[in-house]
Structure formats: C-alpha cells, structure tokens
A and B are shown apart, each in its own frame.
Chain A
Amino acid sequence: MPDGALPVLDVSGLKTIFRTRGGEVHAVNSVSFDLRPGELLGVVGESGSGKSVTMMSLIGLLPTPPAEVRDGRVMFDGKDLLHCTPAELRAVRGPGIGFIFQDPMTSLNPVFTVGYQLREPLMKHMGMTKAQAQVRAKELLELVGIPDAERRLRDFPHQFSGGMRQRVMIAIALACDPKVLIADEPTTALDVTIQAQILELVKELRQKLGMAIVWITHDLGVIAGIADRIMVMYGGQVVEQGPVSEVFHKPRHPYTRALLKTVPSVRGERTAKLSVIEGQPPILRDAPSACPFRDRCAQAFDRCASENPARTPVGPGHDAACFWDFDADAPRTHEAAHA
C-alpha cells in the first residue's frame, strides 16, 4: 500500500465496554487502525474477539446502555464520529459509511418490499424523488447481479434465496455511494459456491466504484483472496496488523501463527494431526493488564503476565503486540529503541 495518502477513516484508542449484571465486559480495548482510500482491510478474529463491536462502535450502532464507548477518537471526513449528534451520525450512515450485516435474513425488513428498502436511503439521503429512486434502485440490483431487476423490486425478502438476499444487502449499502463500506461477516451465512459468487462481485465492484472496504471475517481463506491489509484481533485488542502477504508468510504474533496452522486446507499436504490452540479465549472482565493470549501461548514467559504488550513495528507497515521476537527466537530486547 502506498503511504502518504490521507486515511479516510482514522481510529485511535477506541474502548468499548458493556455493562452487564455480572459487571463490566471490556469488549474493545484501545483499538487503533486507519483505512486508506480504495483499500480493503480484512479484520480476522474468533467470535468474542471484538471485531464486530469495534465496527459497530465507530458509527454508533450499539445500543447504549448496555454498551458504552468510553474512550477514543474516530476521525472521518474531518469529524470525530464519537462526538457527533444523532442527526449528524444519521447523515454519515449511508452516504459516508455503508454497512453490510452478517445475516441477510434478520437485517432486511420482512414486511417491506426490497424496492421500498432500496428506495428509502436514496430518498432520505440523496434527495431523490420516488421515480428517480425507482430507476436507481433497479440499476443497483442490476449492479449486484440480480436478474430481472425491475420485477424483483416488487418482491419481499423471503422470496429471495440467501445469496440473493445478501446481494440485496450489498445493494442497499452501496445505494448512497459510500466512501467506506463495512462488511460484517457478509459471507459467513452462505454456502461456499454462493460465497465465491459474492467474492467475485465484491472484487468487481471495487474496481468499478473504488471505495474503501473493511471486511470482517473469521475465515482466513476469504481474507487471503481479497484483502490488501489484514488486522488480527484477539481478546478485544489488535494483536497483529500488516500487508496481507507479510502477515500470511511472516506472522509475528503467536496467535496468528497458531491460527494459520490450525486451518486445514483442501489442497497441498494433508497433515496427520491438526495442530490446536489449547484452552479457551479469555473472558474480558477487566481492562487488560497482561497479554490476553498468554494462557494459550507456547512462547509465554514471565513478562507476558505482568505487562500488556504494545504494538511494535516488525516489518514494513507490519506490527504485532508481542514481547517475543520470532527472528531471534528470544524475548524482544531492543524495545527501548522504539519506546
């Protein structure tokens, strides 16, 4: 990725907590990242690692309470989204930032036609008349590859298959030409052959429309095919971030390394036994004071239990939050130089 281009989205020190009866849950802990124009950032992590919550916090989609964005700064278009009024936020959602949700069945309204749901953002945000919106809605459905678009606009969501519904979701997210598109596990609920269709579609749309995309997934294979940069999350923190080929070939965080090893492949060598990450993901009861991965880590040593590692540069545009230096196969020593 060329440096220098101003990021369209710049997040720093984001902290989100949930207040529950059992106490606070620290779902997102000091997450910082940026998104440059036209780039596709893949966000990988297990369920509960905070990837969806991070993205929902950005544009105020979390119900408050129980959620509370406690700290941080989200710069988009010269504004801090965390300090916007609800009306300002509404103006950003749609033309500024589009969102594709994971489950196309529950995120489309079952009692309105697809055409109505497509026209709604166009008329609200773009100031179109109903007739103009109708024309544009048809174009959008054609853009995402739904045949017989004009007639399909009159159909309800239940008349579409899973893959087609996800295409409708994408069409709605694209309706107002957003600068940033956030896709939250858009293919997880779909079958592999349909997933392949959607991935091809996204590649095509990126070339045509050139927007920046954040793609949340737990499937490393999906990321490998489409992302420019990848961000790995664990226990509510970013543990590794870098260009996709760097992270896949030279992973510098033990969690990323283990994750890459546990996934079997349909091609190449077949291992006799799968390597596993022992143990369970952490429960985020308190603000982190130690490395969240230490209990499951093969490299863990005493420092990991007393201090939470900060993200340290490990290569060009590549950083990892770990005290272990995999090149030297020893704890990192030259920390002072970066501090």
Chain B
Amino acid sequence: MLDAPGKALIEVSGLKMYFPITAGVFRKHVGDVKAVDNVSFTIYEGETLGLVGESGCGKSTCGRAILRLYEPTAGAVRIDSKDVLAADADTLREMRPKMQMVFQDPQASLNPRMTVAAIIGEPLDEHTSLSKKDKLARIYELMDQVGLNRDFANRYPHEFSGGQRQRIGIARALALNPKFIVCDEPIAALDVSIQAQVVNLLEELQDRLGLTYLFISHDLSMVRHIADRVAVMYLGQIIELAPRDPLYVEPLHPYTQALLSAVPEPDPEAEKTRRRIILKGDVPSPANPPKGCNFCTRCPKVMEICRQTEPTFHEVQPGRFVACHLYQETAD
C-alpha cells in the first residue's frame, strides 16, 4: 500500500451485471451478455481508483452499476457502509447526493435546451430547498470552482467548446457536495491539449474538497498520472488490481503486460528499441466467454490449466491482487 489505507468508502463485492439475450417471438431468454462478472474491490476515502481496459470490457457498465444506474444482477455495493443495491427508491434518492457521475460525452450528457445555470442548478432544485438567491450564489460558486466565467451562466451548451462543456458536467456533479464521483472517460472526447486542463482541474478539486474518484479510462498514461491504485479489467472481470507504481513498473498479469507494452511512447529512440508484446486475435464475445481463464485465447503464456479452470482473484503481494494461474502456487 502506498500509505496507510484510510476508511473504505466504497465496497463492491461480487458485482454481476448480466444483460439478457432474447430470441424468437416470445422473447425467450437464451443467454446473457456478462458485461460485469463477479467484480469485487474497495475504494478508500480520498483516493482515486483507476479502472482501465479495452472497449467492451465492461468498465463503464461497472461504474454505472455501482451508482445503480443499472439494476445489477447480483452482488453488493456499500457506499459509506450503506447498501446501495438493497435500498428502496426513497432511500436511494436520499443517497444520490453523495455519489455523482461525470459522463464521457459532454455533448450528449448536457440538455441542449437548458442554460448552464439551469443545468448546474438542477440537482439543487431536486435535493435542496435553497432560495433563488442562495441557489444562484451556489451556481456562481460552482462555476468559479471549475474555472467557468460567471458571465456565461445564461448561455447554452452548444456555445461552449468540448473542454468547457466537460467543466459544466463537473460543476453539475459537484453541486451537492458529493463524496464520491464516478468519472466515466471524462477526457476521451477531448483534444490532447485540453485533456491536461481537465485532469488538472479534477486533481485540484480532489485536493480541495477531499473527493474520492473512480476514474474510468482506456488511456493508460493518463490513469498513471491521476490514479493512486489501478484496476485492470478484461472481459467483465478485474484481472489485476495494484497500487499505481508497482503496476506500471512490474505488471504481473500477462494481459496487463501486453496492454502496457502496446502503449506507444512519444520518443523515437525508445520506440525503435522497444519490444512490444503483440496479442493475437480479438477479445472474445462477453456473451460466450471461453472456458477457464477469460484471457486464455490470447495469452502468450497460456498453460493447460488455463483452459480448464478459472483462476481466482487473490492477493499475491501486499496490496496486489491478480487473477492468473502463473501466480496461483504462491497463494497456497
């Protein structure tokens, strides 16, 4: 562990999110897309957990299921030791202010017919009973916090650039003083020079307001920058979870190794000499995952046992979890 682990804020255990596949006139249930399959992790107060993986591995679904934007199939999610998945509609509504989300596409997640002030103020309307004056003061305060000019409060989202729109989305998420924010690829739709601005803003806000983030991204270099611990997902499962530095210096799971080696580096000399691990083939369909280890179809270090039994996700070094048969012996 980097530092003494604080209080666990988010505890996820055995989370499963299956989307049913139906067929025929009677919509008979013929199978499931296992988007998130038995995922467990903890996020400590004040830290950033990075969740990385390729598209379709279930990282966004996982983030949404934690906030119960989907109804998960099984599992438990506790935020501040209150169970989110068991809560009824009224209780859940009371819990919502504590957990917020920043969405991937700022274009699609802001209502084009609402002004910035109305967008940022909407959560305040829903969950507080502030007077008009207090509400406006709070909206201005939020706009200052995320670096938006107060004069723009009456403009509409289309009048802003991508980076500024993402700031509006962040201000909306901050409106109710949340403890926990799920950032679902907040920078994926932005240009390189704007990405750094938004990431710096998120870090500043975290320092100032003591926020806890689940930072979902496919950009491994950005996650290395912002996250304290990193979880790597493949085909609906977390296959490795470790503090940031050990993970990037010495990845244990063969998939993490391949993923890190595939990231191109902005340095021509290093690129010439570097050896990439090239994975063969594509990710299997989550509706029909392979028998045994999910990664066995592409793994360069595949063994006989990988095709038979699924590896368990367990701690191999203090704070480092991995699901791979290569490290199975050390556990017992």
Contact partner, A264, options B224, B258, B279, Cβ 8 Å: B224
A163 proximal to B (CB < 8 A): yes
A248 proximal to B (CB < 8 A): yes
B92 proximal to A (CB < 8 A): no
CA distance A221 to B260 in the complex (A): 13
Cβ contacts A129-142/B at 8 Å (1 or 0 each): 00000000000000
**Nearest-CB residue, chain A, relative to B265:** A221
Cβ contacts B148-179/A at 8 Å (1 or 0 each): 00000000000001010000000000000000
Known: A221-B265, A248-B266, A266-B263. A192 touches B220 (CB 8 A): yes
**Nearest-CB residue, chain A, relative to B261:** A196
B315 proximal to A (CB < 8 A): no
CA distance A245 to B262 in the complex (A): 21
User: How many whole Å from B268's CB to the nearest CB in chain A?
Assistant: 5
CA distance A18 to B268 in the complex (A): 36
> Which of B67-75, B131-139, B190-198 is near enough to bind chain A?
B190-198
User: How many whole Å from B184's CB to the nearest CB in chain A?
Assistant: 17
The answer to whether B276 touches A224, judged by C-beta atoms less than 8 angstroms apart, is no
The answer to whether A245 touches B265, judged by C-beta atoms less than 8 angstroms apart, is no
Contact partner, A262, options B54, B195, B260, B262, Cβ 8 Å: B195
Classify the interface of chain B: helix, strand, loop or mixed: helix
Contact partner, A220, options B54, B197, B258, B266, Cβ 8 Å: B266
The answer to whether A274 touches B196, judged by C-beta atoms less than 8 angstroms apart, is yes
The answer to whether A275 touches B276, judged by C-beta atoms less than 8 angstroms apart, is no
B218 proximal to A (CB < 8 A): yes
Contact partner, B262, options A193, A244, A265, Cβ 8 Å: A193
User: Which residues of chain B are within 8 angstroms of A277 by Cβ–Cβ distance?
Assistant: 193, 196-197
User: Interface size (B, Cβ < 8 Å)?
Assistant: 42
B326 proximal to A (CB < 8 A): no
User: How many whole Å from B261's CB to the nearest CB in chain A?
Assistant: 8
Residues of B within 8 A of A (CB): 54-55, 161, 163, 191-197, 199-200, 203, 218, 220-222, 224-225, 245, 248, 258-272, 276, 278-279, 282-283
Residues of A within 8 A of B (CB): 46-47, 161-164, 191-197, 199-200, 218-225, 244-245, 248, 258-260, 262-267, 270-271, 273-278, 280-281
Name 30 A/B residue pairs within 8 A (Cβ), A-sorted: A46-B192, A161-B283, A164-B282, A192-B54, A192-B262, A193-B259, A193-B279, A196-B262, A200-B276, A219-B264, A220-B266, A224-B264, A224-B266, A225-B268, A225-B272, A248-B267, A259-B192, A262-B192, A262-B196, A263-B266, A264-B224, A265-B224, A266-B248, A267-B248, A270-B245, A274-B196, A275-B196, A277-B197, A278-B197, A280-B163
